[in-house]
């Protein structure tokens, strides 16, 4: 775990899709986020480390985490060898000043990769000095049965990982309670994808507070425990009909997090805070 004095609230570039990685930086900076998690592979620019460094310099906004290209649709991003993908992700994190790489567990058909995954993650952490936080996933649900798509398991608490990522939408799809899952993860919980879900078989990634996961309770528990990892907003805004509608969702998510992640003596972000007015407009808050 890092020596940061308080958690930072970041924006995943996946939250602005189908807009670009550059748009993710611009929105995060303007709306008052503390940093960015870069989803590698979401657009070609995200794989260009020099281009991302220019975005960091231009917006004066850090990259807090790198999400390795381990999603199903990213099987050919940075090659096809899964370990090479993770090595490149760790290298990118070090170059960009990020201290966390988010990793999905292997798919069951990646037999060799899955067989040595737990030990390989520990070895790569030791070699690179970068935290690799394995994310909770979910069984693929079909009528009458669950399909086990991940190995050694979609639930990282069933393995011995030093660091884990808790995604609330994935917990919802897996029919888990995020507060209970966080307790089970214990000290390994390093990184949070703050979002929501309604228990649907679809991975919804709703604005936190719009689903049935106990997002507010989780934030309160983490604040009490002096959580010093990153809290990353990772929501689905693909159905937004305009840039302003997307911004409303991003601002609501940020303000929800600030409202509920509160502990005595915690310092507020120095970045400009915004709020959503009753008529849906975004306004700057006066200190």
Task: Return the CATH number at 161.
Answer: 3.20.20.150
| Residue 2 counted as domain residue | no
Interacting residues of 7 by C-beta distance below 8 A, sequence separation 6+:
222, 227, 228, 229, 230, 231, 261
Which domain does 146 fall in, by range?
8-284
| Residue 259 counted as domain residue | yes
| Residue 250 counted as domain residue | yes
| Residue 1 counted as domain residue | no
| Residue 252 counted as domain residue | yes
| Residue 267 counted as domain residue | yes
What string of pLDDT tens digits covers the 287 residues of the chain?
A: 444 458 999 999 999 999 999 999 999 999 999 999 999 998 999 999 999 999 999 999 999 999 999 887 787 888 889 999 999 999 999 999 999 999 999 999 999 999 999 999 999 999 999 999 999 999 987 666 677 889 999 999 999 999 999 999 999 999 999 999 999 999 999 999 999 999 999 999 999 999 999 999 999 999 999 999 999 999 999 999 999 999 999 999 999 999 999 974 444 444 444 444 444 454 554 43
| Cα–Cα dist 242/208, whole Å | 20
| Residue 84 counted as domain residue | yes
| Residue 236 counted as domain residue | yes
User: Which structure tokens are listed for 131?
Assistant: 């935290």
Q: Total structural domains in the chain?
A: 1
């Amino acid at each position: 775990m890092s020596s940061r004095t308080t958690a930072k609230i970041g924006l995943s570039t996946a939250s602005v899709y189908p807009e670009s990685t550059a748009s993710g930086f611009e929105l995060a900076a303007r709306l008052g986020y503390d940093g960015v998690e870069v989803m590698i592979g979401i657009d070609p620019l995200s794989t260009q480390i020099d281009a991302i460094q220019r975005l960091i310099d231009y917006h004066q906004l850090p990259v807090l985490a790198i999400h390795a290209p381990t999603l199903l649709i990213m099987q050919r991003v940075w090659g096809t060898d899964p370990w090479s993908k993770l090595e490149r992700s760790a290298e990118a994190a070090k170059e960009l000043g990020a201290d966390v790489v988010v990793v999905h567990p292997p798919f069951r058909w990646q037999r060799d990769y899955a067989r040595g995954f737990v030990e390989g993650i520990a070895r790569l952490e030791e070699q690179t000095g970068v935290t690799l936080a394995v994310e909770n996933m979910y069984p693929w649900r079909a009528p009458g049965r669950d399909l086990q798509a991940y190995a050694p398991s979609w639930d990282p608490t069933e393995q011995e990982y030093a660091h884990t990522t808790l995604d609330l939408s994935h917990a919802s799809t897996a029919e888990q309670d995020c507060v209970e899952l966080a307790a089970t993860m214990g000290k390994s919980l390093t990184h949070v994808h703050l979002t929501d879900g309604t228990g649907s078989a679809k991975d919804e990634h709703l604005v936190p507070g719009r689903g049935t996961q106990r997002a507010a309770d989780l934030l309160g528990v983490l604040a009490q425990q002096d959580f010093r990892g990153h809290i990353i907003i990772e929501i689905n805004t693909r159905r937004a009909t305009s840039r302003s509608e997307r911004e409303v969702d991003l601002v609501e998510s940020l303000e929800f997090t600030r409202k509920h992640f509160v502990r005595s003596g915690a310092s507020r972000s120095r970045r400009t805070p915004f709020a959503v007015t009753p008529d849906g407009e975004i306004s700057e808050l006066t200190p």
